[in-house]
Amino acid sequence: MVPNRFEASDVVLSRDGHVMYVVFDNTYQIGAICTSLGRSFNCTDRLLDWPDLSLNRKKSGFEGMTYNPVSGTHFVVQEAIETNTKNVYKANVFEIFIDPKDSTPIRLIESCLTNWEFGSDNKGFEGLEFVFHQNSGQTYLLGLCEANKCDHKSSSTNDGRIVVLEKKKATAKNPCSWEPVGTFDLPSSVNFNDYSAISIYHQESRELPTYVAVTSQENSQLWIGLIKEVNQVPFFGISSLDKSTVYDLPRTTETASDCQVKYCNIEGVAWRGKNQLILVSDKAKSDEDIHCIDKDQSVHYVALPEHLND
């Protein structure tokens, strides 16, 4: 488990497999949690302070994190923050460099707003991924909307959407920003009430297509598909595998007729290998079942019931 005052919202596994970096929505601190492999190399769990120490006890709104292997930096997204326009919210992306052994373990490189509008501060980008477009050599961020159609008022259950974001550098007149260049949808067969995390299975060559995992907190389910690159806007697309790839996260098994959700608050996902995943969970809500409380604010390892092909 993570310390019980920390509400986990996403996880990234270091490329050497030694450390899981966990972000929380109720603090700017980042958890560096050792894997069993890391512990064999004398790794120790740590909470990494944000450069501005005054923010460590404040709510961050962090909901997604991803690693950039090109620069060795991480991106962390605040789901949706207020703007100067009433009822208009935008996600904010921090680029940071992490070195757990340094006296200043997190170094802030840049903070850039995304130029994508949301109508609510708690239904913005819930997941984030870095992706490399092989043919053009361009890099992008993928923002996973929490709500169907990226609209907090939507009542549909099969309109998952991802926004493709391209970095616009700061100039003398304008700050840096992440500009939307297009969107693409999850397959309509993915019937989720919400979308809580995304993770791409990164191959050494960074080539696509490759596997992608998307979770739903409300449904307590996991979907596995394929992400590929295309040579026109929006530059990427997602498709289903040949077989059914929506998995229920483990349920309670007290009685055969009373199978209940117990992983109620899954907010982050990362690949641990081609057939294993790491999940992290947020704090259970006050009206949720005791089974939910038992699995909240924790790191979980899960194995897929079917092996994915090379």
pLDDT tens-digit map of 205-237: 778 999 999 999 999 999 999 999 999 999 999
Round to the nearest angstrom and report the end-to-end CA distance of the chain. Answer: 32
What's the CA angle centered on 235, arms 112 and 218, to 5 degrees? Answer: 70
Distance CA 224, CA 246 (A): 7
DSSP code at position 251: B
H or E stretch at 293: helix 290-294
pTM: 0.95
- Report the side by side order of strands in the sheet with 106-118: 62-68, 73-82, 89-98, 106-118, 177-185, 161-168, 139-145, 125-132
Give all domains of the chain, ordered by start, each with its CATH number. 8-303 (2.115.10)
What is the structure's pLDDT at 84?
93
What is the structure's pLDDT at 305?
86
What is the structure's pLDDT at 188?
92
Contact of 127 with 197, CB cutoff 8 Å: yes
Q: Which of the residues in the chain have pLDDT under 50?
A: none
What is the structure's pLDDT at 274?
87
Distances (CA, A) of 94 to 79, 91, 177, 237, 248: 12, 10, 11, 25, 33
What is the structure's pLDDT at 244?
65
